[in-house]
Amino acid sequence: MRRFSQRSHLVTLSEINITPLLDLAFVLLIIFVITTPLLENGLKLNLPKGGSAETKVKKSDIRTVEISNTGVYNLDRQRMTLPQIISRLVEESHGNPNLVIRIRADKDCRFDQVAELFDGCQRNGISRYSLGMDPAPR
């Protein structure tokens, strides 16, 4: 007597049951929907009132300071030393209270070169800055 003489009892499963996969996908979706708002509001803060709305900055109010990776400083495309740049910015800030310093530093420059520029400007009452960066590729 043969045990497996009839081939009809040996049926191969040629379809994949995706119901458990869909259940898992829906459970994960529900978990992410519930936890995402909790991640965005990590701390409940009572922020102070004040300030003003962002205003457009005129091109005439912007001074660009560039710092190369070798420590060379440029102010509006003119090579200068750091003390010269700071003194020129201080002169211009007295005549223009809306002056904005746009800092474009090479990503390989030393941070202390940027920090010296910030320090010099802050000691002289210049407090509006913009950091220039390349946009991220899409």
List the domain boundaries for the chain.
Answer: 16-40, 59-131
What is the fold, at CATH topology level, of the domain defined by 59-131?
A: Nucleotidyltransferase; domain 5 (3.30.420)
Question: What pLDDT does 87 receive?
Answer: 92
Question: What pLDDT does 84 receive?
Answer: 93
Write out the chain's pLDDT in tens, 138 residues. Answer: 555 555 556 666 677 888 889 999 999 999 988 877 766 544 444 444 555 555 677 888 888 888 888 888 888 888 889 999 999 999 988 888 888 888 888 877 888 888 999 899 889 888 888 777 665 555
Question: What pLDDT does 44 receive?
Answer: 44
User: What is the secondary structure of 55-75 as a DSSP string?
Assistant: -PPPGGGEEEEEE-TTS-EEE
Question: What pLDDT does 81 receive?
Answer: 92
Cα separation, 87 vs 91, whole angstroms: 6
Question: What pLDDT does 72 receive?
Answer: 85
pTM for the model stands at: 0.56
Other CB atoms within a 10 A radius of the CB of residue 129 amount to: 14
Cα separation, 4 vs 16, whole angstroms: 25
Question: What pLDDT does 102 receive?
Answer: 86
